[in-house]
Structure 1
């Protein structure tokens, strides 16, 4: 009955690449055998290959030797992975009563995905082969296809059905499916990573200074609802004993009254967990403890008059002229470096303390039509920084290089006995667009952080 069914569809198969698939073959490939796997290498599985009755070739049962490989074993969610399916040897044979000429063999097949992502990948090969003598085994073939990663975690790839279509009247198509009771072994593995998430945690003191022991109202935002948030003082890079723990509300914000008793405190931070980390904590907000201890009175015999003036510290702030940046246009098919320039950033340091500052930037992937991405690491910059006349600090531009999602230093000023001033920061940017990037508009988010 199977041969009759294939005879009925044969005329429609002439001149086309046909993928033969059966429910039984899909079930065999969907789960890799625990025994007999050869990770990232050659595998062998029992196969039955059926040719049309007109070919004069009986069903061929025997082992298929195959290998599956991927171009990226560690992609991220949203990436496109290219899969190569090589049939190194097959029990299928050419027609018994005639030779197959060169370049008439077109292979198609399926690669079965399991693990973090289920499904299959259709693969197709070029019509390319040496002449095949009558009744001789069909030659090795190579097929490729692509799929998009949709979930993080470990994935396995196993060979599935394949069809060898010749576009030759004597043997239009030979379909090969896994057979037997043993599952088809896994031939390749990959591990997909989730896309990185931005840390939006931040802290806002109601005042930038106070006397020893003063209580400052602090607002922490960007935390998970219900999280235990610790608000604490910091002296440079070290924490102080000043701390209080509150619970974030439904919107991820919390308010705390923090008594600041350590005279060395230079900043306030907020974080989750036992200690501050870059992933679960906010950046520091400047805070200065002003020593207002009264001086002892002069002896009565001394007539003096003390004149006192107070210089109140300000804040560390930045402004930017024109935040949005539009790059040029690239012709499809070419690899190009598209130039641009960020809006000028003005950093004002009016804190009056010894702390320096750092301005960093990071950029997300560029997302275009259909979810196609240009990696954020394709954007590089050449920073420049100028200190205004009279500034107490001298700013230094960051190194030229890749910005990317991990971030890079745009400019900084060091700690010093008396820091402060106004600084102008610029950067020329270049986006390296890969060749044959699909047409469309690609957008990313460039985040600048001053701390």
Structure 2
């Protein structure tokens, strides 16, 4: 029996570190980067090395703080089976706030990267964003998950989930300044958060805001630096001063989203900007047409000839070897990625007349494996030896820059029978698992 399991810039930087030392605030934490489904690649597990910096380590309540999230190393790899050109990678991420103020900060980076070879790791990225300080006291900043969006041939997202990232930066917020009479001025606590940090031209981004005057008309608008853009909608705050809007972002100049009361944005009646990137392909040169041919990745599959294996007979009273061959297995790998594969076999114990049993460890094999002409991968036969219930490798193909092909796998099998084994038929189940 064969069981198939197919797998397939802006903020101030901290002081520079001395040679051989980690930069201040640099942390390392486990990450799982899930490749896009279209890539047919397994998840990439490994450490992310990153650090967070702020432009003001001692803000006042109501101030807007700019934060920078730099990923120096990621386990994520190029998701296409070809070279990734320059300037097609857009990073977005989250920074987790703790201590006196909780929540998340959305950060986004520019579409800027050097070319990346097929199967190679994705490069370092830098992302920035802002948040409004709403509480006095110590505030911690820790790295959160991040997404690496590539826009070449296909739009693909490699989503990196973070677990247990340590604090990378801290700041201490003080109460707002007092007026001449000694009473603290009312801090501007208006803020917005985005449902997505990037999108194609015309995409709608969900905007949630807080800290506005109850029942006030609030304008949600795009921004490019200090200037506004053509993107805007007007909504009404609820009784708690919260707003929810969907903003269609059509202006390619938009780099952030703000919300404000009144006729124009101001530091007193508006939120700080939340970073946003419009992801669009470069315009074609007049008189030319862009021609794209896409090679679609397939799957890792296995077929096996026959449903049973019949071994030779052994005379009663003798310790003997019942021999035979497994049904020929054909593995086809058309995923088009860097991941290899392995084919594992496990066998149950043999049961015979009157409940007599022979251990599965009595079965051994000698595998062979042949790659079809033109297959990019080489096929490695497993070692000759015991199969047993714990399992053994029948064949495998190693990881590589680009793998794939068709492979024919066979094995001679031998069951060693104890002397005076009662006459009759003895049966077991051999399970092959491809991953």
Q: Normalising by structure 1, what TM-score?
A: 0.38
Does 1 or 2 have the higher relative contact order (CA < 8 Å, sep 6+)? Answer: 2
Higher helix share: 1
For the pair shown, the structure with the greater C-alpha radius of gyration is: 1
Q: Normalising by structure 2, what TM-score?
A: 0.39
